[in-house]
Amino acid sequence: MKSFHTIVVIAIGVMLPLVESTALELDTGGKTQAELNAETVIRCQQQMGEFGNDAVSICVKSDREAMMQLAEYPDEVAAIVRRCNRVMYKAGWSMIKTCSDRDIAARDALQGYPERYAQTIEACRASEERYGYAKVQKCVDAQIAEAGESDRE
């Protein structure tokens, strides 16, 4: 059985190069790349270690790829990424990306709702926005369904 230190060395070996220039400045809490790498490895070891070295390596690689992809997101979604980073940071960059992608999709969907739902959207935004656009959309959809409307067209 390999020791934790061996797993860390193996997992760090799958790290991808840091993106030199980014469209979006990620909040890394002022940590260096080495600190982020170590943090990712430790988190992946804690979450996936029971499944073996391959699982830890996949976790690290996936997390690193998610971070690199987030760094390429346009500035217009920075507030969404920051919110997801704040609430999902301990779960890793893959979860931050999942949260961000979900909220971006919900924001875009809400922009396509008919004008007659503007008040409903604003009411839900006022009460749910701190939880993200996906929660706002869920609130709007629930209120539309409660009103007995079957479509948003």
66-118 pLDDT, tens digit each = 999 998 999 999 999 999 999 998 899 999 999 999 999 999 999 999 999 99
- For residue 43, give its domain range: 4-111
Average confidence (pLDDT) over 15-42 = 67
Q: Is residue 104 part of a domain?
A: yes
Lowest mean pLDDT among 25-29, 39-43, 51-55, 148-152: 148-152
- DSSP letter at 49 equals G
Q: Give domain status of residue 123, yes or no.
A: no
Q: Is residue 65 part of a domain?
A: yes
- Put simply, whether the predicted model's pTM sits higher than 0.95 gets the answer no
Domain count, the chain: 1
Has residue 17 been placed in a domain? Answer: yes
Confirm whether 54 is domain-assigned: yes
Domain-embedded: residue 79: yes
Residue 124 lies in a domain: no
Q: Does 142 reside within a domain? A: no
pLDDT for the residue 3: 42
- At residue 150 the predicted structure's pLDDT band, cuts being 50, 70 and 90, is low
